């Protein structure tokens, strides 16, 4: 081997050694958990994946809790009893969603009628323009606040 080839091979081996050191250092920095703790975490992951336990946050204080699957299912069944069950066919689901959509539209239109939301928000939330909605128009009421006068919208009372 000539000198140029030897120098190239030595440089490649040096880079490989430096890369190995850098990878080992990054691995050590990323994995700051001792091996016994890492093994415990791996066991927990395996139990969760096999659906033996459930790990979740508590509702009240947000702390982690670990439940076995049968206890978790019993709690969920008890909690779900309070909700209305809908038959799952497309007609009933669509009817239910249409009722919800109609109620929301009425609420948003009423908010707009009372000047609680802008014309732009009305258009983008339910797709209506101002001329489709009857509004009770009253001139704003001036209210003195310190050295400023604030104009507050008011409701019509003569309807």
Question: What is the reported pLDDT for 159?
Answer: 40
Is 54 domain-assigned? yes
Q: For residue 104, give both structure tokens.
A: 């929301």
**pTM score:** 0.39
Locate all alpha helices (DSSP H) within the chain, ordered by sequence: 3-30, 35-49, 69-80, 90-113, 119-126
Question: What is the reported pLDDT for 45?
Answer: 92
Residues 65/55, Cβ–Cβ less than 8 Å? yes
| Residue 154, pLDDT above cutoff 70 | no
pLDDT tens track for 41-52: 899 999 999 999
Residue span of the structural domain in which 145 resides: 93-152
Is 40 domain-assigned? no
Average pLDDT in the 51-79 region? 89
Structural domain count, the chain: 3
Is 157 domain-assigned? no
pLDDT over 70, % of the chain: 75
Is 26 domain-assigned? yes
Are 146 and 101 found together in one domain? yes
Closest CA relative to residue 133, chosen from 157, 109, 106: 109
Are 148 and 121 found together in one domain? yes
Are 78 and 100 found together in one domain? no
Is 158 domain-assigned? no
C-alpha span between 94 and 90 (Å, rounded): 6
Is 87 domain-assigned? no
Are 129 and 148 found together in one domain? yes
């Amino acid at each position: 081997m000539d000198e140029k080839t030897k120098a190239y091979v030595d440089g490649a081996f040096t880079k490989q050694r430096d890369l190995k050191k850098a990878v080992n250092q990054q691995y050590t920095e990323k994995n700051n958990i001792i091996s016994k703790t890492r093994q415990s975490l791996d066991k927990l992951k395996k139990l969760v994946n096999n659906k033996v336990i459930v790990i979740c946050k508590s509702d009240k204080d947000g702390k982690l809790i670990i439940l076995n699957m049968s206890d978790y299912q019993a709690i969920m069944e008890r909690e779900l009893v309070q909700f209305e069950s809908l038959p799952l066919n497309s007609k009933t689901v669509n009817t239910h969603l249409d009722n919800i959509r109609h109620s929301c539209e009425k609420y948003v239109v009423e908010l707009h009628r009372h000047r609680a939301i802008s014309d732009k928000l009305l258009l983008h939330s339910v797709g209506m323009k101002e001329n489709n909605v009857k509004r009770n128009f009253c001139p704003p009421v001036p209210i003195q606040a310190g050295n400023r006068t604030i104009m507050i919208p008011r409701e019509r009372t003569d309807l």
